Chain A
Amino acid sequence: MDETVAEFIKRTILKIPMTEMMTILKAWDFLPENQLQTVNFRQRKESLVQDLVLLCESKRASLRDAALLDIIYTQFHQHQKVWDVFQMSKEPGEDVDLFDMERFKSSFEKILRRALKNVTVSFRDAEENAVWIRIAWGTQYRKPNQYKPVYVVYYSQTPYAFTSFCHLKSNTPLLSQALTVASNHHKIVKMDLRSRYLDSLKAIVFKQYNQKFETHNSTMPLQETLELDMHMDSRIIHENKIEKERVQRVTQETFGDYPQPRLEFAQYKLETKFRSDFHGGILAERKEPLRCLIKFSSPHLLEALKSLAPAGIADAPLSPLLTCIPNKGMNYFKIRDK
Chain B
Amino acid sequence: MDPYDTPESTPRHGASSRLKGYFIGATPLRKRLESVRKQASFVPTPPRRKIPQCSQLQEDNDPQKFAFLLHKQWTLYSLTPLYKFSYTNLKEYSRLLSAFIAAEKQKGLAVEVGEDFNIKVTFSTLLGMKGTQRDPEAFLVQILSKSQLPSENRGQKVLWTGWFCCVFGDSLLETVPEDFTCVPLFLANGAETNTAIVGTWFQETFDCHFSSLAINAFNLSWMAAMWTACKMDQYMATTEFLWSVPCSPQSLDISYAIHPEDAKALWDSVHKTPGEVTQEEVDLFMDCLYSHFHRHFKIHLSATRLVRVSTSVASAHTDGKIKVSLNISS
Using a CB–CB distance below 8 Å, which chain A residues touch chain B?
A: 268, 270, 272, 274-276, 278-279, 281-283, 286, 288, 290-301, 303-305, 307-308, 311-315, 317-319, 321-322, 335
A294 touches B255 (CB 8 A): yes
Cα–Cα distance between A290 and B298 once the two chains are bound (Å): 18
Our pick among B247, B249, B257, B296 for the contact of A272 (Cβ within 8 Å) is: B296
Q: Measured between C-beta atoms, what is the minimum distance from A218 to chain B in Å?
A: 9
Apart from A294-B257, A296-B252, A312-B303, list 20 A-B contacts with CB within 8 A: A274-B288, A274-B292, A275-B295, A276-B291, A276-B295, A279-B284, A283-B265, A291-B258, A292-B262, A293-B258, A294-B256, A295-B254, A296-B255, A297-B252, A299-B250, A304-B245, A304-B247, A304-B250, A315-B298, A321-B296
Across the two chains, which residue of chain A brings its CB closest to B240? Answer: A293
Chain B contact residues: over half helix, strand or loop, or mixed? Answer: mixed
A297 touches B253 (CB 8 A): yes
Residue picked from B284, B287, B297, most chain A C-beta under 10 Å: B297
B287 touches A311 (CB 8 A): no
Interface status of B39 (Cβ within 8 A of chain A): no
Residues B241-300 near A (CB distance < 8 A): 245-259, 262, 265-266, 269-270, 284, 287-288, 291-293, 295-300
Q: Measured between C-beta atoms, what is the minimum distance from A159 to chain B in Å?
A: 31
Interface status of B238 (Cβ within 8 A of chain A): yes
Cα–Cα distance between A312 and B298 once the two chains are bound (Å): 11
B247 touches A311 (CB 8 A): yes
Chain B residues with Cβ under 8 A from A321's Cβ? 296-297
Cα–Cα distance between A306 and B218 once the two chains are bound (Å): 28
Contacts A283-B269, A313-B245; is A290 near B292 (CB within 8 Å)? Answer: yes
Interface status of B304 (Cβ within 8 A of chain A): yes
Our pick among B247, B249, B259 for the contact of A292 (Cβ within 8 Å) is: B259
Using a CB–CB distance below 8 Å, which chain B residues touch chain A?
A: 238, 245-259, 262, 265-266, 269-270, 284, 287-288, 291-293, 295-300, 303-304
Cα–Cα distance between A315 and B298 once the two chains are bound (Å): 6
Cα–Cα distance between A319 and B254 once the two chains are bound (Å): 15
Contacts A279-B291, A282-B270; is A335 near B296 (CB within 8 Å)? Answer: yes
B293 touches A282 (CB 8 A): no
Q: Measured between C-beta atoms, what is the minimum distance from B167 to chain A in Å?
A: 32
Contacts A291-B258, A295-B255; is A319 near B250 (CB within 8 Å)? Answer: no
Across the two chains, which residue of chain B brings its CB closest to A290? Answer: B262
Cα–Cα distance between A283 and B259 once the two chains are bound (Å): 15
Cα–Cα distance between A261 and B304 once the two chains are bound (Å): 24
Chain A residues with Cβ under 8 A from B299's Cβ? 308, 313-315, 318-319
Our pick among A292, A297, A301, A313 for the contact of B304 (Cβ within 8 Å) is: A313
Q: Measured between C-beta atoms, what is the minimum distance from B248 to chain A in Å?
A: 7
Chain B residues with Cβ under 8 A from A291's Cβ? 258-259, 262
B252 touches A298 (CB 8 A): yes
Across the two chains, which residue of chain A brings its CB closest to B266? Answer: A283
Contacts A282-B266, A298-B253; is A313 near B258 (CB within 8 Å)? Answer: no
Cα–Cα distance between A283 and B291 once the two chains are bound (Å): 13
B259 touches A304 (CB 8 A): no
Q: Measured between C-beta atoms, what is the minimum distance from B241 to chain A in Å?
A: 10
A297 touches B297 (CB 8 A): no
Q: Measured between C-beta atoms, what is the minimum distance from B271 to chain A in Å?
A: 11
Name 18 A/B residue pairs within 8 A (Cβ), A-sorted. A282-B270, A283-B288, A286-B269, A290-B259, A290-B266, A292-B256, A294-B293, A294-B296, A295-B257, A296-B254, A297-B253, A297-B254, A308-B245, A313-B246, A313-B299, A313-B304, A318-B297, A318-B299
